[in-house]
Structure 1
Amino acid sequence: MSKEVVAVVIDHKAIGVLDRAYIEDSWLREFELPENTDGLRRVEKNGVVYILSKDSQLEDNHLVINTVVFSPSAGLPKPRIAFERIIRVALRHFDRNIAIPIQWQPYHSRARLSVFAQASREAQQRVYFDQSPLGSANLYAFAVTSAPDDLDAVPQDKGLYVSAMEGLCDALLEDAPTAGPPVGNFGVLLSKPLGFWLTNEWTLQEWYEQRLNREQRAFVDRLHDRPVRLRGAAGTGKTQSMVVKCLRDLYADSDTGGSKTFAFLTHSSALANTVVKGMLHSLDNSERWSSLKTPSGQPKLWIGTIYELAQEKLGYEKKGLKPLSLDGIEGRDYQRMLIDEAVGVVVSDARVALDLFPHCRDFQERLKSRTTDPSLIDELMNEFACVLDLEAIKKDTHEANRYARGAREPWQMHLPSEPYRRVVLEIHDIYRGLLRKNKVLSMDQMIADFDGYLGTHEWGALRERDGFDLVFVDEYHYFTRAEAMLLHNLFKSRAQVEGRWPVVMAYDIKQGTNDNAVSGGVEKFRNPGVGESVLSELKQVYRSTPEITDFLRDLDASFPAMDLEGEYATYVSHSKQESGEKPSLTVYRTDLELVDGVFDQAIRTARELEGGGSQVAVLCLNESLFEKIRTAGRVRDKFVPITTREDLKDLRYAKGKCVFSMPEFVAGLQFHTVFLIHADGADFDEDQGQGARRRYVSRVYLGASRAARAVLIASSKERGGASQLLDTSLTNRTLLRLS
C-alpha cells in the first residue's frame, strides 16, 4: 500500500495529455496511469506523485497540486471537475492563447488567482492558485474554500510546494516501470484529441499526397500573394483543408529558414484549442508546430479566437474587465437577462410612454408580453450585435438619427418606422449602462476597442514584431463586419503584395444561425479591407451519405432569397460516401412522448455503435425547450449536455449515454446519428420576417449537416406538428414520414 498522496507534480507536456483524458473521481486518490499511454510515466516519492512526459526536463514548467483540494473535507460534489479546471488553468498559464471561461468567474490579486471549482450554479467552492510560487514560472493549486474568500487571506502550504519540487530531480532519474496497471482499472482513460478523429489518423504527407481531392489540392497549393475565400457546404472538408494548408506552409517556411508567422483564427475557443489543435496533433503528433519560433523568439503559429487575441493585446484581464461570451448558454442567458431588464425599464418609463409608444402600440404590447414571446429578446440581441454595437451607434447622436430614419435591410428586425427604432435605441442605452455597471464588455465593444488599438502608435511600433505574415480564418460566417474589417491591421507590413493581404477565409453562410454573415454584405467576402479575394469552392461532400446530402439540398433551397451576388446561391454538392437510410420524420402526440421516445432510441443507438454515445447527438431546435429538457429529471441521466462550445471535451464522458445540445454548440463536429427534435410548426411561419426565417432554416441545416449516416427528425402535435419547412423534403421524398 503506497503512502497517502499529498501532492501531484505534472510537467507541461503531460498537462496536455491529461486535458483530454476520461477521469473518474476515484482516480484522484492514487493517480495511477494505464500502461504505455502517450509516453507518460508515474513516479511516486515520499507521498508526491510525479506525472511526466517522455521528454520531461528539470527546466520544464510544472503544475503542482496540493491534493487537499480533492479530499472529502473539501466537500466537492464532483472532484474531477475541479481537476479538469485546474488543468485548464494550467494550460492557460503556460499558453496565453487559451482562455479561462468567463463562467468560472476568474479573480486575480497580484500572483494569485481563483476560479469556481464546480459547474453547478449552486456550488460556491473556489480553488486557489499561486501563479508564481517562490518567484518561479510554475503554477501551484494550493487550496479550496467552501465559498468565495479574500484571495490574499487564503493560507498556502509553501513547504509542500518546496518538498514536491525538491523531489523532481530524483523522479526524473528513476527508471520507468516495466509494467503498469491495465487500462480503465484506476479511473482514467487517456484518449486522442477530439480533432484527431476528424483527420482519420492520416499524417500530413498522406493527406497531401493521397487524400485531398483536386479542388482541395488546388486550394492548399495557393501562394500567399492575395486573399482567398474557401467556400463549401457542410462536410466538404473546409476546416481540414485549412489545417493541412496551414501546417504545410508553416513547415515549408521553417524548413527554408524563413521567419514568417501564422495566425489561425476561429470564432470559438473550443474549436481552436480542442478541434484544430487535435487535428494538428493527428497530422504531426510530434507537435513540432507548437514549438517553432522565429529568430526573435516569437511563436511561428498562433491559434485562438479573435477575442482571445484582442484580450491578449488589450490586457483586459489585468484591468478586471471581462468580455461577455457569445459562445454558450450561460453567456447568452446573461445577455438575455440584461436585455430583458433593459426592456422592463423602458416599458415603465413615462417619457417613452408619452412620446414614443402612442406611435407604435403593437410594439409596446409586444415588449410588455415578452415572457410569452421568446423570439423578441433574440431579435433585439441580433439588432444590437449586427447593427448598434457593430456600428457603435449611441442614443442622441447623429448616427442614432441616421439609424432611426434610414432604410433597413430585409434580414433586420421588423421596425417599420422611426418611433419603433427610437424605442430600440432606448433599450440599447439602458443595456449598455447595465454592462458598464457589471464591468462587463460585450464582444462587439471589445472588437471596437481592438480596432482602435490597431490604429495606435503603440501597435505601429510593435506590428513588425507581433504581427502576422499569413492569417487563416475558419468559420468566417460567424465574424461580424467590424471583425472582418480589422484583419488587415493584424499583418506585418512586409506581408502586403501589391495592395493585397494574404488572409484565407473558410465559410458556409448557411451554417450561420445569427445575422453576422449577411449583415456585412458582399464586401465582407469579396474584399474586407484586404484587397479583392479569389474564390476556391469545394463541392464534394465527405461527411454525409447521398441521402442526407439530398435532404440538405432541399433545405438549402428553402432559404429566403438573399441578394449577395452569388455568395448565397444554392450549393451543388455531391456525396462521396456509401448510401444509407433516408432521413425520417416522426410526429409525436405530446412533448413528453417526444422526449421519452427520442432519448430511448438514442441510447439504444449509442449501445450499437463502436464510438458509443459520443457518436449520437440529440439536437434541440428550440432554445427554451432545450433548457427545459436539459434540467428535466426524467432524462438527465441519459445524456451529456453540451451547453457551450467549451463543453466539447465532455464528449469523452458520453459512452453509454448520448450527447444533448443545440446545433450551434456542436458546429465543426460530426456524429454518426443526429436526432433533430422539436422541428415544430409553432417555430416556423412563412409570414415571419426574412431574418427570423433564415435563422431558423440555418439552425435546421446546421444540425442535420452534423450527421454522417442517419438523421431522425421529431416534431410534436402539441406545438403544431411538423414544421412547414419540411414540406418540400416530404414531397420530394428526401425525408420519409414514419407512423
Structure 2
Amino acid sequence: MALNMLVIDEDAVGILDAALIEDAWFSDFYVPTNTEGVRRVEIGDVVYILSKKADLESNLLVINIGALGVFKSIAKPRSAFERIVRVALRQFDRSISLPVQWQPYHEGSLLSVYADSIGRKNQYRIYFDQAPSGSANLFAFGVTNGPEVLRQVPIDIPAYEAAVGGLLEALTVDQVSPDPVGNFGILLSEPLGAQLSGSGTLDEWYDRKLSGEQLKFVDQPLDRPIRLRGAPGTGKTQAMAVKCLKALYADADAGGDKTIAFLTHSSALAHDVVRGMFYALDPSARWSQLKTPAGRPKLWIGTLYELAQEQLSYEKKGLRPLSLDGRDGRELQGFMIHDAIEAVRTSPRTALGVLKECPDLAARMGNEGARKALVEDLMNEFACVLDAENIRKGTPDADRYVKGAREAWQMALPTERHRKLVLEVHSAYRDALRREQLLSMDQMIADFGRYLSTHEWNQLRDRDGFDLIFVDEYHYFTRVEAMTLHNLFASRAEHSGRWPLIMAYDLKQSTSDAALGGGLERFRNPGVGESVPVDLKQVFRSTPQISAFLKDLDASFPAMDLEGEFDTYESQSNKADGDLATLRIFDTGVQLIDDVLEEAGILARSIDGGGSQIAILCMNEELFDRYRKAGRARDKFVSVTSREDLRELRYARMKSVFSMPEYVAGLQFDTVFLIHVDQADLSDEYLSQGARRRYVSRAYLGASRAARKLVIASCMERGGTSAILDAPLRNKSLIQFVT
C-alpha cells in the first residue's frame, strides 16, 4: 500500500533534527530496528516515528507524503524535511525563530516557507496548518511551485485526522520496521554544536574543564555589562554557553521569572551550534522547556534579525528582507549595486553633473575590469555607513556624511564630490530595493531601532523585554545593531545605570567593517554602562605551530588606531605539538585546485570524522564561485556557501568541505587548506586600508579554523604568494613545501 501520512511525535522531531538523512530515506522512512530513542510503526498508509516519551498527549508533526504530498515534486526532499523539522521545533518551542531567508508568510493558522535555500531561483513553497482541527499539532499539507494564496492550497483534513486517530494503536502495537537490505538512508547523530563542545555536562565544565580565565568570566556578577575578548580557539562561545545556562538554572531553581536572550549574527550559529552546545551541556534539554509563570520561554536563542522580524511582522506585510548572510544574498546585492552604478552612469543628470566633476571615480565606475572590486567597496560602505546610519541623499545626515572626516578603514573617498557620487549610487540602489519590495538587513534593523523607541514598545517592554542578554560574535554587529540592544532589556534589568549585556568578540576575525563604524566606544560602553573586560589567552583548538603562524600573520594587519581593541596576538596553545604550517606554490589555479582536492580526498578517507574534518577555504570570492560550479570538481566536496549551510557538514563523509572563511566562522577542522593567498588580491591601486584589513582578517579567520594541520596555497598566475605571508616565512612559522 502506498504511504500517505507521516506522523512524528515532538521528542522524535528533536532526534531527527540531528540525523544524517539521504534522499533515499523518503521512499519508505525506515529507521534501523536497533536505533536508540525512536522506532517506526506502519499502520495502513500511515508511518509513525515515535520516541520513548511518546504518548497520547504528545504534540505531533504530521506530513502529507502521498501522491500529492510535500516531497513528491521537490528535487531535494532532505532540504525540505529539514525546514519542516525547524518549523515543528518552532511550533513546539516558541523560543525558536524561523530565518528571514525562508520568507515565512502567515494567514491565520496557515504558514508557508520556501522549500530550500535558493528560493529566488526555485520557487517551491511548503504549506502548514499550525492548528489543524483546533489542535496544537503541526500539519505540513502541501507544496506549490510559486507562492499561492494560503487558503486556496488543498488540505486533506480527513486524512490528517485519520493519521492522528491511529496514534493509540501505534503506541501499543509491537510492530516495528522490517530490516531492509542495504542503506537505511538515515543515521542518527548528535547536533553539530555538541560535537564542537565536546564531552562534559554543565557541572563537569564548571567544576573541572573551564580554564581559570574562563571561570573568571563565568563567575562575573550579572549586574553589569561584560566584554569577553579572545583569539580564535580560546573557548569564548563555550564559556558564554556555560555562563548562560548557569544563570538560567540559578534563576529557575530560585523560582524567578527572569528571561534571557542569546543573540548571534548568524541563524545557523544560533540554532545549530549554540543549541547543540546547550544540548551537550544538558542533554535533558531543560533549558528549552523552562517558562516564566506567565508562560513565556525563559531562554530565547536567535539573531537580532529574527527578533526584529518577530516584532515587526514583515512577512504579514508582504515585505521580503534581503539576506546578506551567504553567497546568494551577497550575489543579489552585488547585482543590484552593479545596476545602480549603470543607472548613475547613464543618467543625463549625473553624467553631466557629479560624474563629470569626479573623473577618477567615474573612470573606475566605467572600467568593467575594476567593477567587482568597486562593488565590494560600495557594499561595505552601504552596510557599515550609509544603511547602518540611515543616511539618505538630500538629508542633513547626508550633508554631514559628505563634509565629515573619514577613517582609515573606510573606502577611499577623498573629496566631497566623491562622496556625493556614492550617495547617487546608494539612492539608485535604494530605489531598486523599493521596486522589488526588498529590505536590506540594515534597513530592517534601522526600522527595528525606531520601533524600540515607540510608546507601543514602552508599554510592552516589561512583558517582552529581557533581563539578561548574551551576544556572541559581537564583532559582526554594526553600531546601529549594537545600539538597539539597550532597548531590548526589561526596565527591571537595570542595576544602578548598568545593564547586563554579555559580549564575546575578536575584532580580527571580522571580515567586514561592521564593528568599526561609529568608533569603538560601543565595545567599552555599548549604551548600557561601562563594561568589564575579561581576556582569554589560552588556546584550546590549535597546535602551538598554528598559533605561532597566527602570531606572525598578526603582524600583517595594517597599523590602525582602534582604541586598544586591536591587540597583538598573544595567545598560547595548550595542545600537543604538530606540524609546521606549509606553503605550496602552483603555476596555475587549475593545478592548485586539482592538487588540493586530491590530497583533501585522501585525508577525508583516512581520518576520523571523514570529510567534515577537512576544509578547503578559498580567499577569493570569484574563484570560489568558479570552482564550486565546475563540473570536474563539484562531486569532490560539500559546498558551504552561507552560514545557513552549516548543517551540510554532517553530509561531508568522504568528501571535503569547500567554503570561504567567513561561512565557517565558529567551527573547527582537523586540517585546513587555505587556498589562493595570492598577491593579486592586494595589488589594486584603489585598495584602502580597510580593504587590506578585511583581506588579512579573512586569512586570519581561515587559518584559525585549523586544529592540527594548515596548508597555504598560492599560484603564480595571480602574482604568487601574498605579501601578508612575508613575516611567517621570515620567522619560519610557515615553510615552503618543495616537491
* Common fold: TM-score over 0.5: yes
Q: CA deviation at 1:318?
A: 1.6
Q: CA 1:440/1:248 → structure 2, altered by over 3 Å: closer, same or farther?
A: same
- What is the root-mean-square deviation of aligned Cα atoms in Å? 2.1
1:288 to 286, 295, 298: 286
* Structure 1 pair 149–470 and aligned structure 2 pair: CA distance change class (3 A): closer
- 2:342 aligns with 344
Matched, 1:211 2:209: yes
Q: Is the Cα contact below 8 Å between 1:97 and 1:308 reproduced in 2?
A: no
2:662 counterpart residue number: 664
Measured in 2, the distance between the counterparts of 1:122 and 1:420 equals: 36
TM (norm. structure 1) is: 0.96
1:426 corresponds to which residue? 424
Residue 736 of structure 1: aligned partner: 735
**Distance in 2, Cα, partners of 1:25 & 1:565:** 52
Aligned residues: percent identity? 59
Amino acid at match of 1:161: Y
Partner SS, residue 697 of structure 2: helix
Of 54, 57, 63, the residue aligned with 1:56 is 54
Could you tell me which residue of structure 2 aligns to residue 691 of structure 1? 690
Does 2:120 match 1:140?
A: no
Letter in 2 for 1:715: S
SS where residue 535 of structure 1 aligns?
strand
Instruction: Select which of 511, 531, 534 maps to 1:533.
Output: 531
Contact 2:31 2:39 in 1 (8 A): yes
Pick aligned residue for 2:394 from 380, 387, 396: 396
1:438 is aligned, of 418, 436, 439, to 436
1:589 corresponding residue in structure 2: 587
Deviation, structure 1 residue 148? 5.0
What SS class does the counterpart of residue 200 from structure 2 fall into? Answer: coil
Tell me, in whole angstroms, the C-alpha distance in 1 between the residues paired with 2:98 and 2:432: 23
Deviates more, 1:319-328 or 1:187-196: 319-328
Per-residue CA deviation, residues 302-338 of structure 1 (Å, 9 max, x unaligned), is: 1111111111111112222222112111111111111
1:17, 1:450 → 2: CA distance?
Answer: 35
Could you tell me how far apart the structure 2 residues matched to 1:473 and 1:484 are?
10
Q: Which amino acid aligns with 1:544?
A: S
Structure 1 residues 410 and 533, CA gap change in structure 2 (3 angstroms) = same
SS at 2:127 equivalent: strand
The Cα of 1:122 is off from its aligned counterpart by: 5.6
Look up the match of 1:131: 130
Shift of 1:587: 0.9
Aligned to 1:376: 374
**Within 2, Cα distance between the matches of 1:71 and 1:159?**
14
Matches of residues 315-334 of structure 1 in structure 2 within 5 Å?
A: 315-334=313-332
User: How far apart are residue 207 of structure 1 and its match?
Assistant: 0.6
Q: 2: distance between equivalents of 1:625 and 1:524?
A: 36
Distance in 2 between residues matched to 1:509 and 1:266, nearest whole Å: 15
Instruction: Indicate the SS of the match to 1:486.
Output: helix
Shift of 1:548: 0.3
Rounded Cα–Cα distance in structure 2 between residues aligned with 1:553 and 1:183: 53
Give distance in 1, aligned partners of 2:732 and 2:699. 18
Map of 1:406 onto structure 2: 404
Query: Residues 268-667 of structure 1 correspond to what in structure 2 (within 5 A)?
Result: 268-667=266-665
Write out per-residue CA displacement over residues 570-615 of structure 1, whole angstroms, 9 at most, x where no aligned residue.
1210000001111111111111111111111111111111100000
Quote the Cα distance in structure 2 between the aligned partners of 1:158 and 1:308. Answer: 31
Distance 1:164 1:385, change over 3 A: same
Give, as a single letter, the amino acid of the residue that structure 1 aligns with 2:579.
E
Alpha-carbon shift at residue 73 of structure 1 (Å)? 9.6
**Is residue 74–residue 144 contact of structure 1 (8 Å, CA) maintained in 2?**
no
* Cα pair 1:356 1:422 within 8 Å, conserved: yes
In structure 1, distance between residues paired with 2:67 and 2:429: 39
Q: In the TM superposition, what are the counterparts of 1:187-266 in structure 2 within 5 Å? A: 187-266=185-264
Q: What TM-score comes out, normalization by structure 2 length?
A: 0.96
Contact 1:41 1:51 in 2 (8 A): yes
Q: Are the structure 2 counterparts of residues 486 and 72 from structure 1 closer, same or farther at C-alpha, using a change threshold of 3 Å?
A: closer
Q: Read off the aligned partner of 1:702 and give its amino acid letter.
A: L
1:164 aligns to what?
163
Distance in 1 (CA, whole Å) between partners of 2:122 and 2:135 is 32
Q: What is the distance in 2 between the residues matched to 1:486 and 1:149?
A: 35
How many residue pairs end up in the alignment?
736
1:358 Cα offset (Å): 2.3
Q: Deviations over 1:511-557 (max 9, x none)?
A: 00000112232211000110001100000000000000000011112
Deviations 1:143-180 (A, max 9, x none): 33455555443322222111001111222344585x97
CA distance in 1, matches of 2:666, 2:386: 29
The code of the aligned residue for 2:692 comes to R
Report the 3-state secondary structure (helix = DSSP H, G, I; strand = E; otherwise coil) of the residue aligned with 1:518: coil
**Secondary structure class of the residue paired with 2:361:** helix
Which moves more between the two structures, 437-446 or 522-531?
A: 437-446
Distance verdict in 2 for CA 1:127–1:547, change over 3 Å:
same
The amino acid of 1:41's aligned partner reads R
2:93–2:288 Cα contact (<8 Å) kept? no
Distance (Å, rounded) in 1 between the aligned partners of 2:384 and 2:81: 38
Going from structure 1 to structure 2, the CA distance change for 1:447 and 1:479 (only over 3 Å counts) comes to: same
* CA distance in structure 2 between the aligned counterparts of 1:271 and 1:235, rounded to whole angstroms: 16
CA contact (8 A) 1:131 1:140 kept: yes
1:478-522: per-residue Cα shift (whole Å, max 9, x none)? 011111112111112121111100111000000000001122322
Distance 1:334 1:624 in 2: 14
Which of 17, 23, 26 is matched with 1:25 structurally? 23
CA distance in 1: counterparts of 2:301 and 2:476, whole angstroms: 17
Q: Secondary structure at the match of 1:461?
A: helix
- Give the SS at the match of 2:229: strand
Q: Secondary structure at the match of 2:274?
A: helix
Aligned to 2:711: 712
Q: Which runs of 5+ in 2 are unaligned?
A: none
8 Å contact from structure 1 (residues 685, 724) kept in 2: no
8 Å Cα contact 1:356/1:423 also seen in 2: yes
Partner of 2:87: 89
Cα distance in structure 2, aligned partners of 1:81 and 1:261: 32
SS of residue in 2 equivalent to 1:516: coil
In terms of mean alpha carbon deviation, does 424-433 or 135-144 score higher? 135-144
Pair 1:680–1:494, CA change in 2 (3 A): same
SS of 1:581's partner is: coil
| Pairwise CA distance, 1:558 | 1.2
The CA distance in 1 between the partners of 2:657 and 2:284, in whole Å, is 31
In structure 1, stretches of 5+ residues that fail to align are: none
Is the 1:194–1:275 Cα contact (8 Å) retained in structure 2?
Answer: yes
Deviations 1:385-431 (A, max 9, x none): 11111111111111111111111111110011011101111111111
Instruction: Supply the distance in 2 between the matched residues of 1:632 and 1:233 (Cα, whole angstroms).
Output: 35
Offset of residue 455 of structure 1: 1.4
> Is contact 1:545-1:708 (8 Å) kept?
yes
In structure 2, give the amino acid aligned to 1:705.
S
Q: Cα–Cα, structure 1 residues 105 and 392, in superposed 2: closer, same or farther, change >3 Å?
A: closer
- Letter paired with 1:691: G
Amino acid at match of 1:330: D
Separation of aligned partners in 2, 1:126 and 1:338: 25
Whether the 8 Å CA contact 1:17–1:38 is kept in 2: the answer is no
**CA deviation string 1:51-71 (max 9, x = no partner):** 122222333322111112687
State how far apart, in whole Å, the 1-side matches of 2:102 and 2:249 are: 37
Distance in 1 of aligned mates of 2:595 and 2:500: 51
The 4+ residue runs of structure 1 with deviation greater than 6 A are 69-73
List per-residue Cα deviations over 1:181-203 (Å, max 9, x = no partner). 59983110011000111221211
Contact 1:116–1:125, Cα closer than 8 Å, also in 2: yes
What is the letter of the counterpart of residue 62 of structure 1? Answer: L
By how many angstroms is 1:372 displaced? 3.8
Amino acid at match of 2:538: Q
Distance 2:25 2:89 in 1: 20
Please report how far the alpha carbon of residue 623 of structure 1 lies from its aligned counterpart in structure 2 after TM superposition: 0.7
Amino acid at match of 1:632: A
